[in-house]
Structure 1
Amino acid sequence: MIVSLSTVVLLGAAVVLMIHHRALRPGGATVAALFGFCLASTGAAPAINDAIQSLADQLSHIG
């Protein structure tokens, strides 16, 4: 749960910075957000969550 929240905050901050530096226009940000919501409702969501959790577990053992 904490990893999910941290990931959302980190990705949200990245999108805000891209919009601020005009690297990602508002239309592109909207598409990216909609893609994320659509992807979360597909059958791929559990596999993606498992991969992110596995990566976070590996990184926690390094530090």
Structure 2
Amino acid sequence: MVISVSLVLLVGIVMFLMIRSGKLKGGPALVAILFGFLLASTDMAPDIQEFLNSLSRTIADIDL
């Protein structure tokens, strides 16, 4: 749950910065948000969540 919330915040901040800089307009941002909500209610949601979890575990295992 913590990874999901922090990932949502990170993506939200990136989207906000893209809108503010003019690289992403309000209409496409709204479509992206709606697409995310619709995608979360499909059968693909658990697979996407597992992919994000494995990606975050891989990143966490990297030693710098």
Same fold (TM over 0.5): yes
Q: TM (normalized to structure 1)?
A: 0.95
Q: Secondary structure at the match of 1:4?
A: helix
Moved beyond 6 Å, runs of 4+: none
Q: Percent same amino acid among aligned pairs?
A: 44
Residues 1:42 and 2:42 aligned together: yes
CA deviation digits over 1:5-30, x for unaligned, max 9? 11000000011001101111100110
Between the aligned partners of 2:18 and 2:59, the Cα distance in structure 1 is 26
Q: Which runs of 5+ in 1 are unaligned?
A: none
Q: Secondary structure at the match of 2:22?
A: coil
Between the aligned partners of 1:59 and 1:19, the Cα distance in structure 2 is 27
Matched residue, 1:8: 8
When the two chains are superposed, the root-mean-square deviation of aligned CA atoms in Å is 0.7
Between the aligned partners of 2:23 and 2:11, the Cα distance in structure 1 is 15
Between the aligned partners of 2:26 and 2:2, the Cα distance in structure 1 is 28
Q: TM (normalized to structure 2)?
A: 0.94
